[in-house]
């Protein structure tokens, strides 16, 4: 009985999520994707993460960290072009709206946010409280894989330390 009730709740809650299929029009960076839905352009900012590309332009990140982040990006060009390498312009993607952000689903069954975490190019924000516990678990497992393989920022002590600093 408990399993049936749980499945019913999960199924009915998914009926009300704002999930659409949209066309990818352009990629500004790993965090900001330009999409089109029914001839209406919109910007898809990745849900559930803080990416290196986002932290470089934020004003609350200290100047030493910005310097380390920029240096990391110069020495790791794969990070800068990660989204461009896995996404394809003019292809359709399933996009799930979560507040003012979105979760862009990849054909692999993962989301762009999850892929960025696993590659070590994004962190889970300290202040974010997920409503979707399955998604939170997937993000946390991706983070553990990134840490254990020393992917991306986890390979560079200066960048890793900047990512571990809680913004004021």
Backbone phi, then psi, for 101, in 5-degree steps?
-110, 175
Confidence class for position 58, pLDDT limits 50, 70, 90: confident
Query: Percentage of the chain surpassing pLDDT 90?
Result: 52
| CATH assignment, 19-163 | 2.40.50.90
Label residue 166 by pLDDT band (50, 70, 90): low
**In the chain, helix, strand, coil percent, each to 5?**
45, 25, 30
What is the pLDDT confidence band of residue 100, given thresholds at 50, 70 and 90?
confident
Average pLDDT over the chain, rounded to an integer: 84
Domain extents for the chain?
19-163
């Amino acid at each position: 009985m408990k399993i049936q009730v749980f499945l019913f709740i999960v199924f009915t809650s998914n009926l009300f999520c704002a999930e659409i299929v949209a066309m990818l029009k352009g990629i500004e960076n790993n965090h900001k994707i330009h999409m089109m839905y029914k001839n209406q352009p919109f910007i898809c900012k990745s849900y559930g993460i803080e990416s290196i590309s986002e932290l470089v332009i934020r004003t609350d990140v200290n100047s030493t960290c910005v310097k380390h982040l920029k240096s990391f990006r110069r020495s790791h060009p794969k990070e800068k072009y990660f989204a461009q390498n896995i996404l394809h312009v003019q292809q359709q993607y399933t996009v799930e709206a979560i507040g003012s952000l979105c979760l862009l689903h990849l054909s692999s069954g993962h989301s762009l946010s999850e892929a960025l975490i696993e590659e070590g190019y994004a962190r889970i924000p300290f202040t974010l409280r997920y409503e979707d516990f399955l998604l939170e678990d997937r993000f946390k497992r991706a983070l553990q894989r990134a840490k254990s393989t020393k992917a991306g920022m986890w390979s560079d002590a200066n960048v890793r330390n900047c990512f571990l600093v809680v913004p004021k």
